[in-house]
């Protein structure tokens, strides 16, 4: 009998207040999880920056008191989902950053996309925002 390979997935969920003080909790948590999967120091630093940007967006833009983090740990892969049930936004309104006009803001999504392997952003005005990002171990790419 041919048996399908069973892919084990561990899930961790946490809700955080939309207070910048708690970004450090998110960073420490993802650092520990990434270390367990086997990411190296540079990769863990990249994951922490990407997660911090997503948390900063929920904190700054959602207009809600809390937001959620969901981590999915698979063999050689980490997926992080950052979601809020806040004001949301219209993706058509968000412009790509222009290098010549690099200013202090509007870079969060650009940074996340450049540091993670897969990124999916879902947002609906009045409903909230969900960003899902994955990173693979080098051997699993």
Ligand X SMILES: Nc1ncnc2c1ncn2[C@@H]1O[C@H](COP(=O)(O)OP(=O)(O)OP(=O)(O)O)[C@@H](O)[C@H]1O
* Residue 57 lies near Mg ion (rule: CB under 5 A): yes
What is the DSSP pairing of strand 77-84 with strand 10-17?
Answer: unpaired
Q: Which is nearer to ligand X, 41 or 99 (CB)?
A: 99
Q: Which does 62 bind (CB under 5 to 8 A by kind): ligand X, Mg ion, none?
A: ligand X
Beta carbons of 72 and 7 less than 8 angstroms apart: no
Phi and psi at 10, nearest 5°, equal -100, 140
What DSSP string describes 37-90?
Answer: HT--HHHHHHHHHHHHHHHHHHHHHS-SSEEEEEEEEETTEEEEEEEE-S----
Options 109, 116, 135, 136; binder of ligand X; rule CB under 6 A: 109
Among positions 32-91, residues that touch ligand X (CB under 6 A) are: 53, 57-58, 60-62, 84, 86-89
* Residue 108 lies near Mg ion (rule: CB under 5 A): yes
* Residue 108 lies near ligand X (rule: CB under 6 A): yes
- Residue numbers at the binding site for Mg ion (CB under 5 A): 57, 108
């Amino acid at each position: 009998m041919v048996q399908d390979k069973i892919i084990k997935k561990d899930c961790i969920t946490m809700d955080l207040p939309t207070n910048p003080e708690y970004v450090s909790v998110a960073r420490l948590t993802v650092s520990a999880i990434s270390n367990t999967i086997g990411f190296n120091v540079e990769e863990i630093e990249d994951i922490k920056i990407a997660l911090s940007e997503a948390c900063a967006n929920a904190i700054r833009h959602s207009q809600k008191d809390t937001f959620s983090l969901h981590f999915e740990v698979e063999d050689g892969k980490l997926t992080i989902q950052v979601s809020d049930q806040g004001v949301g936004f219209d993706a058509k309104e968000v412009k790509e950053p222009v290098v010549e006009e690099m200013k202090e803001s509007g870079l969060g999504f650009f940074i996340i996309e450049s540091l993670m392997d897969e990124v999916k952003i879902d947002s609906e005005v009045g409903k909230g925002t969900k960003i899902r990002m994955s990173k693979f171990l080098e051997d699993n790419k």
